[in-house]
Amino acid sequence: MEDPRTALESLGLPNLDVHPPFNHYDFTRQPRIILVVGPMGSGKTEFSARVWRDAQVLRRKSEVFAVQTTESGADRRNVFFVRSSLDRKRFPNYPPDALAFRGGYERLGNQIATVEDTWQLEEVIRAHPDFGTWIVDEASFYEERLAYLIREYHRDRRLTFILPTLILNFRNEIFNQTARLLLEVATDVFPLTAYCEHPDCSLDAHQTWRYYSLADRQIPAPYFDPLIIVGGDARSHDARQPNYETRCSRHHVLPAKVYTFLTLRPLAERYRRGLDRDLITEIRNLAHLPRQSLLAHQLEKEGQEALAILDLPVLAERALVYLCAEAGLLTLAESVRIIRSLDLDEVYFRMRIQDQQGYRLGQETKTPEGESS
């Protein structure tokens, strides 16, 4: 690429701070696997829409381009957008073929499809052999198979894949096993950032912060909060439904991580091995006397903002979802027994368990024993 500094100097401009220019998408480049990563609001979908718009421009150019953009019958200027069925309810007010982003949408006609899983994705790819660029939105939502499927089509069919996705979860950890594998097979990464949404801060931020609204307070989600909570984009004032903000690392408060590993998990280990029933005491306290829990004791070391999580509803149920569906330390039957014996909220618990299973965490989840889920 031409050095932008040279171009400016030749215009007689003074020596300014020159930043990398924002380029149009280059369809003549060799097939790539591009991860577009960033928190919500960083413009991942807008990026996809721009690629699509650029493609429309290039398709109107002369046949000279076809030679540079076509391999094995697939033209990279033909862009197909694939979205996950898990995402369908996010934009109920747009036309079915709309690629919607903040501030607008593009209608993609027959160049957009919604698929359930990678098997359906493969069907769509096979049905459109002349399409060289595939945008697979929210790539981390798919099962792990996606990573190697994409790599094979990239190698064998010389296709380009653009994968806008969250790569970090609210704990600031790699989202799941699929995200981990995608990082391995990718050839390029476009990191996008958004402003930190903390009122006192405007740093570039790339972390997703989960919080709950409770009586006009923002309460951070605890580390052991259920990893996946299926829900809409609308801001919720129900302290059982999370909200998200983009935050810089300084303003990404994540209480109870130490507690989760130092106390909660070990208690469940001991309970499972029949050593003691301290777990039950702790779960009971979380539900009915949170300020007397071991959690409260630990949070005192983390400060006021962390202590606020003691006011959250269904704290005990959240811990049980974590221990059952994510840590695999309790079976579903055991968890339900505990829930019933302590008079906890079984509806909330089952809903969240379903969320974890629906999103194919790519982690070993305990199969329910003697329970239908």
Which part of the chain contacts Zn ion (CB under 5 A), choosing from 203-211, 283-291, 337-345, 346-354?
203-211
Q: Which residue's CB is nearer to Zn ion, number 255 or number 290?
A: 255
DSSP code for 24: P
Note whether 198 binds Zn ion by CB under 5 A: yes
Show the beta-strand stretches assigned E in 149-284: 160-165, 188-191, 194-195, 204-205, 207-214, 217-220, 243-247
Q: Are 106 and 49 in contact (CB under 8 A)?
A: yes
Q: Is 373 helix (H, G, I), strand (E, B) or coil?
A: coil
Q: Which residue's CB is nearer to Zn ion, number 194 or number 227?
A: 194
**Minimum distance, C-beta of residue 305 to Zn ion, in the bound complex (Å):** 14
- Region for residue 142 given its phi and psi (left: phi exceeds 0; alpha: psi -120 to 50; beta: otherwise): beta
Give dist(CA 293, CA 300) in Å, integer: 11
Q: Which residue's CB is nearer to Zn ion, number 46 or number 197?
A: 197
Binding letters toward Zn ion, positions 250-269, x by CB under 5 A:
-x------------------
Which part of the chain contacts Zn ion (CB under 5 A), choosing from 27-35, 154-162, 185-193, 202-210?
202-210
**Minimum distance, C-beta of residue 202 to Zn ion, in the bound complex (Å):** 8
- Indicate the pairing of strand 207-214 with strand 217-220: antiparallel
**Minimum distance, C-beta of residue 175 to Zn ion, in the bound complex (Å):** 21
Q: Which of 196, 286, 336, 339 binds Zn ion (CB under 5 A)?
A: 196
Q: Which residue's CB is nearer to Zn ion, number 252 or number 360?
A: 252
Give dist(CA 225, CA 205) in Å, integer: 22
Note whether 57 binds Zn ion by CB under 5 A: no
**Minimum distance, C-beta of residue 209 to Zn ion, in the bound complex (Å):** 10
**Minimum distance, C-beta of residue 247 to Zn ion, in the bound complex (Å):** 6
92-111 residues in contact with Zn ion (CB under 5 A) are: none
Query: What kind and span of H or E run contains 78?
Result: strand 74-84
Q: Which residue's CB is nearer to Zn ion, number 27 or number 211?
A: 211
Both structure tokens of 132: 């060289």
234-253 residues in contact with Zn ion (CB under 5 A) are: 248, 251
DSSP code for 22: P
Both structure tokens of 322: 């974590």
**Minimum distance, C-beta of residue 218 to Zn ion, in the bound complex (Å):** 14
Q: Which of 7, 66, 127, 201 binds Zn ion (CB under 5 A)?
A: 201
Q: Which residue's CB is nearer to Zn ion, number 84 or number 207?
A: 207
Q: Which residue's CB is nearer to Zn ion, number 7 or number 201?
A: 201
**Minimum distance, C-beta of residue 206 to Zn ion, in the bound complex (Å):** 11
Which part of the chain contacts Zn ion (CB under 5 A), choosing from 53-61, 189-197, 215-223, 310-318?
189-197
Q: Which residue's CB is nearer to Zn ion, number 121 or number 196?
A: 196
Count of residues binding Zn ion (CB under 5 A)? Answer: 6
Query: Which ranges of 116-251 would DSSP assign to H, the alpha helix?
Result: 118-127, 145-156, 177-185
Give dist(CA 99, CA 69) in Å, integer: 24
70 φ, ψ (degrees, to nearest 5): -115, 135
Note whether 323 binds Zn ion by CB under 5 A: no
Residue corresponding to tokens 């690392």: 249
**Minimum distance, C-beta of residue 39 to Zn ion, in the bound complex (Å):** 12
Q: Which residue's CB is nearer to Zn ion, number 201 or number 262?
A: 201
Task: Provide DSSP, 85-144.
Answer: GGGGGG-TTS-TTEEEETTEEEE-TTSEEEESSHHHHHHHHHH-TTEEEEEETTGGGS-T
Note whether 49 binds Zn ion by CB under 5 A: no
Across the chain, which distance is largest between two alpha carbons, in Å?
A: 79
**Minimum distance, C-beta of residue 92 to Zn ion, in the bound complex (Å):** 32
Contacting residues toward Zn ion, per CB under 5 A: 196, 198, 201, 203, 248, 251
